[in-house]
Structure 1
Amino acid sequence: MSRVVGKPKVRRRPSLPMRRWITRAEFEALMEAEVFPREERLELLAGELTRREPVNTAHAVAVVLVSEALQQVLPKNLHLRAQLPLALSDYDEPFPDLAVVSGSPRDYLSQHPTSALLVVEVSEASLKTDREVKGSLYASAGIPEYWILNLRERVLEVYREPAADTRAVYGAAYRWQQTLSASEQVSPLFAPDARLAVQHLLP
């Protein structure tokens, strides 16, 4: 009789004194060696391998829409990266849906960007993680602006002013938050005179 293997049946993760964290360098080496199938869409958060939210059609369309809107207002000294790594610490390498970073693409031939001016996550199933875990991670890295395109509620959540916060997962959080409906507009910090309609970002 075959046995179905599922996740460990624990109510909460045990605190194991001999736990072995994975570093960003090790994670990159494992990915380069194709130890894990690419379709698993893994990223590294707090030294642990984490699966990213699956890209369904709405998610994919939203990434393209936000990308097109941001491309129109990008200054020449910035560029946009879609679903590519950010090397934020020795134990953190997320793959945000979109990130606006300084310089040109060739500036990152030797290593991934270590920061960004804006990070955007398109979120539905991963909403709690994107708010509580990734929001704290991006704040701890000093990223000045973070957007969550919330497909569940069809709003854009805008986070700014990263600051220390002992209650947050990474010890930092955004002090300023605004939720914009489809009828409203947003101006990125890197292009304050631009006006992007939230309805044009939503699928």
Structure 2
Amino acid sequence: MSPKAYIDPGGTGGYPGQRRCRSVGEPAIGTRKWTRLEYERLVEAEILGPGDRIELLGGEMIVKEPQHSPHATAIRLTARALRRVFGDGWDVSVQLPVALDAESEPEPDVSVVQGDPRDYRDAHPQRPVLVVEVSLSRVAFDREHKGSLYARAGITDYWIVNIPARRVEVYREPVGDGAAPFGWRYVSVTTLGPGETISPLALPVARIPIADLLP
């Protein structure tokens, strides 16, 4: 069976952990989780390529959000704003892999890590100081599923650029929560709109206008 067959077992189109309906008496469909090392081998062997638009989240291969124009524009704006304030000594990446844990290798829309790009020649970054997801059609998924995953990994500063609401949601202070998809969530949640500013935890002296991040 092709590795891609595990992206959506049962063909329901649901998110990981979402309940899948089946007929009474029908046996449950088994699924296989992937480790990050296995996933990277699939990429190295070119079984998975850039055109597949896949990221590994909690052992499951998930198709990324489509790149509609507002989504792509917000990514460019966010990356530009962060590069302006962080400057030398920091690397601001767009949709590049993060070796988050043993079963996750997400590709955040924007991430910030300390150091030079060459520092990560032999291995992907593991602990970004800031992760940003730009959301047009998957706001709930980015809040609940990715938010829990990033909280579990100890990401202390997670932003969602919520395009439909024209807001930036700021998630901080990860804590354990057995009811969350990955057992963790953020206890501090702040929503900011145009006319307000935001400061990254890693660079508290910076002031970024929210309007600079919105398409």
Output the TM-score relative to the length of structure 1. 0.90
1:171 positional shift: 1.1
Residues 1:57 and 2:69 aligned together? yes
Question: Which of 184, 197, 204 matches 1:172?
Answer: 184
1:166 positional shift: 1.5
Residue 24 of structure 2 aligns with which residue?
none
Residue 112 of structure 1 aligns with which residue?
124
Greater mean deviation of Cα atoms: 184-193 or 69-78: 69-78
**Structure 1, unaligned runs of 5 or more:** 1-5
Residue 7 of structure 1 aligns with which residue?
11
Structure 1 residue ranges (4+ consecutive) displaced by more than 3 angstroms after TM superposition = 8-11, 13-19
Greater mean deviation of Cα atoms: 72-81 or 138-147: 72-81
Residues 1:149 and 2:161 aligned together? yes
Question: Which of 173, 176, 179 matches 1:161?
Answer: 173
Written as runs of structure 1 = structure 2, the 5 A alignment for 1:29-40 is: 29-40=41-52
Q: Distance in 1 between matches of 2:49 and 2:184?
A: 33
**Structure 2, unaligned runs of 5 or more:** 1-9, 22-26
Greater mean deviation of Cα atoms: 85-94 or 34-43: 34-43
Q: Distance in 2 between matches of 1:112 and 1:79?
A: 12
Aligned letter for 1:7?
A: G
**Structure 2 CA distance for partners of 1:54 and 1:18, relative to 1, 3 Å:** closer
Residues 1:192 and 2:204 aligned together? yes
Q: Distance in 1 between matches of 2:53 and 2:12?
A: 21
SS of corresponding position for 1:81: strand
Q: Distance in 2 between matches of 1:105 and 1:76?
A: 11
Q: Distance in 2 between matches of 1:153 and 1:18?
A: 38
How many residue pairs were aligned?
Answer: 198
> Once superposed, what is the RMSD of the aligned Cα atoms?
2.1
Residue 28 of structure 1 aligns with which residue?
40
Greater mean deviation of Cα atoms: 115-124 or 34-43: 34-43
Aligned letter for 2:37?
A: A
